[in-house]
Amino acid sequence: MIVKTDVISFREKDLYINDESDTSELYFVSLFVNNVKVCPGDTQHVLEESLPFIQHIDLSSWQNNLMVDFSSSNYIELEKSIWYQYKLEGFDKDWISTNQLRLIYTNLAPGNYVLKVREAKNRLGEDMGEEIALNIVIHYPWYRSFCINIALVEKGKPVFGMINSVCDGEILWAFASG
């Protein structure tokens, strides 16, 4: 059995440096798809490298329940009540304030999204810190592809038999009935 552990080291005196140019870093830590943690090289094939180092993920239509953890390198302020704002562009209309470090989205429809997280210096969001973003694509299922939908209603009538079409470089096969 292999046990993975994480270690963080720092010098306590470095935590109290009051230099405005030395800002904290906000980053995505981990991703869960359908309540299963996703890691580089696992059987879900979502991440090629660790989440903090990527800006884009591609998901299948059935991989539409997401939990995303994020964190800040500001370990002093973590003891206080830091507020964050997040927004999933393509889903949320406005920024949402939270003091939690986990974001949860369920039953997302296929489409293109951008998950944005930023540090708010207070709950009202009057002073913003760094912002991070993660592009998310949830693909349509094969039967909802543009080519298949056209083939099924060609000339206003249902198509019978086998449909063979090329869509986005993939050959799609399906049986249609009408």
**24 CB neighbour count, 10 Å cutoff:** 17
CA separation for the pair 137, 11 (Å, rounded): 40
| pLDDT at residue 12 in the model | 67
Domain extents in the chain: 12-138, 142-176
**pLDDT tier at 175 (50, 70, 90 boundaries)?**
very low
**Mapped to the 3 state alphabet, what secondary structure does the chain carry?**
CCCCCCCCCCCHHHHCCCCCCCCCCEEEEEEEECCEEECCCCCCCCCCCCHHHCCEEEECCCCCCEEEEEEECCCCHHHCCCEEEEEEECCCCCCEEECCCEEEECCCCCEEEEEEEEEECCCCCCCEEEEEEEEEEECCCHHHCHHHHHHHCHHHCCCCEEEEEEECCEEEEEEECC
**pLDDT digits 0-9 by tens, 92-147:** 999 999 988 999 999 999 999 999 999 886 555 556 778 999 999 999 887 766 55
pLDDT in tens, 66-86: 999 998 876 666 556 678 999
At 166, is the pLDDT very low, low, confident or very high (cuts 50, 70, 90)?
Answer: very low
Select the CATH number that applies to the domain covering 12-138 from these four: 3.40.50.300, 2.60.40.10, 3.30.1490.20, 3.40.50.1980: 2.60.40.10
Query: For the chain, how far is it from start to end, CA to CA, in angstroms?
Result: 54
Answer whether 25's CB lies under 8 Å from 130's CB.
yes
